[in-house]
Structures are given as C-alpha cells and as structure tokens.
Amino acid sequence: MGMRTNRPEGELSIIQLLPNLLTVIAICAGLSAIRFGLAERYELAVQLILLAGILDGIDGRLARALGSDSQMGAELDSLADFLNFGVAPVLVIYFWALQDMSSAAWLAVLIYTVCAVLRLARFNVQKKSDEGDSGTFTGVPSPAGAVLVMLPMFLSFSVSDGRIMPPEVISIYIVIVGLLMISPFPTPSFKKMTVSRGKVRFVILGVAFAGAAVLTYPWKSLVVLCLAYAALVLWGLISRKRANSG
C-alpha cells in the first residue's frame, strides 16, 4: 500500500523538486566553468565540470526514487547535458590551449559540440527503445566524452604547470572524441551491469579505493580512469569484431 498524503493532486513537495534543483545547480556549475576558464582558473573550471557530471548521475535516479520524474525534468536534464558535456569542456580546453592556434582549432571545437548534440538527440530518441537495455550504449555517452576530451588537461595538471601536448595534437584528439560519441560502436553501460552477491564486497572496496585515489591524487587518478575506460571501449570493439567474424 502506498503512503497517503493530504497534499492536493498535482502538487509536489520540496523534496520531490530536489532532482530538478540538482539539475539547475549542474547548469550553474557548467556556466561557472566557462567563466573560470575565461579567467584562466583552469583547474577550478575542470572541477566544476566534474561536479556537473556527478550531479547528472544523481538527479535522474533521485527523481525515479522519489516518483517525481517528468517530461519537463527530462528536457531540463538534456539541456544541462548539452551545456555541461557538449559546450563547457571543449570551451575550457580552447581557452587553455588553443586560442593562439589558427581557426582549425575552433573548427575542432565546433565538430565536438555538434557531435555532442547529435549524440544527445540520438539518445533521446532511443532511450525508450533498445539503447541501454542490452547493457551497452551506442557510441560514447556525452558525460564520458566530456571526461575523455579533458584528458590532455588531466595529463598536464598531473606532471606540469603548462601544456605537455601540442595544440595540433589536442585539436585532433578533440575531433576523435567527438566522432566516438556519434559512432555506432557499443560502449559499456554501467547502469545495467550486475554483480553477484559474493563479489559485492570487492566492488565496494574497489569503488572506495578509486574514490580515495581521486581525492588524494586527483589528476593522476583521472588519467588512469580515462585510460581504463578507453581500454574497455577498445576491448568491446575487438570482442564485437571477433564475434562477427566467428
């Protein structure tokens, strides 16, 4: 039996509004990241984008848990994803490394952003069909793409105060990540992964270790996580080719 309330039908409690409030906070984080990128406070800008990613992972699940998911919330979440994962990361990279380059660098920024919006549009169309039901996404999801595209920044922050990659290489890398988002290749969906009861303790221990590593050595840990995710994507491609050839 469901919990009864005296609240008039059509009204929501403040708690039920929390998912949308988290989405709005994520939007503010993305916009602030662009502002701090312009102010050359690049580490803070990256941290705000990562915060937006964490909030993105929370708001939808919280909405379903509270029974407050709605069409408006879904649209708001999609707009937040475009800003936080399709615009903010690549603009921060542009301010950080590519402003002094020719217009080719700006072309790379545009390609990435267009790929991100196409990826989000495809996801919105497919989310009620087969995408995510098989335990995989089609192409790299936009939050993962945003983290991957900032890998040159993670590398630089972890070993030096300045850039360690040429702007030309960074521009090419941006385009590659953008194309991966709209690729037809399957990528892992952690939302659908299951763990046997006997291995739960090891998963919890692994997540705790990863969280401690990110807090203690943030940039080096993010480099490792990016490379590990890229390895998972590559392994999925190899496995798919082997299955098709077999």
pTM of the model: 0.85
Q: Give tens-digit pLDDT for 105-136.
A: 999 999 999 999 999 988 888 765 554 455 67
pLDDT band at 240 (very low <50, low <70, confident <90, very high): confident
- Condensed to tens digits (0 to 9), the pLDDT of residues 192-235 reads 666 677 777 877 888 888 888 888 889 999 999 999 999 888 88
Give the CATH fold of the 16-128+137-185 domain: Four Helix Bundle (Hemerythrin (Met), subunit A) (1.20.120)
Query: What is the structure's pLDDT at 209?
Result: 86
**Using an 8 Å Cβ cutoff, are 149 and 174 in contact?**
yes
Q: What is the rounded CA–CA span in Å between residue 121 and residue 119?
A: 5
Long-range CB contacts (within 8 A, 24+) of 103-107: 104/171, 105/167, 105/170, 105/171
Least confident stretch, 11-20, 51-60, 207-216: 11-20
Count of positions (residues) in the chain: 246
**Mean pLDDT of all residues in 144-154:** 95
User: Region 61-90: what's the mean pLDDT?
Assistant: 84
Amino acid at 208: A
Q: Look at 130 and 147; give whichever has higher pLDDT.
A: 147
List Cβ neighbours of 245 (8 Å cut-off, separation of 6 or more).
Answer: none
**DSSP code per residue over 34-68:** HHHHHTT-HHHHHHHHHHHHHHHHHHHHHHHHHT-
- Rounded CA gap, 76 and 137, in Å? 21
pLDDT of amino acid 12? 60
Q: Using pLDDT thresholds of 50, 70 and 90, give the confidence band for residue 182.
A: very high
Give the chain's radius of gyration (CA, Å): 19
* DSSP result, the chain: -PPP--PPTT---TGGGHHHHHHHHHHHHHHHHHHHHHTT-HHHHHHHHHHHHHHHHHHHHHHHHHT---HHHHHHHHHHHIIIIIIHHHHHHIIIIITTS-HHHHHHHHHHHHHHHHHHHHHHHHTTTTTTTTSEEES--HHHHHHHHTHHHHHHHHH-SS--S-HHHHHHHHHHHHHHHT-S-EEE-TTS----GGGHHHHHHHHHHHHHHHHHSHHHHHHHHHHHHHHHHHHHHHHHHHHHH-
Q: What is the mean pLDDT of the chain?
A: 84
Would you list the domain boundaries of the chain? 16-128+137-185, 196-241
User: Cα torsion at 98, 101, 104, 110 (round to 10°)?
Assistant: 30
Give the Cα separation of 33 and 176 in Å (integer): 23
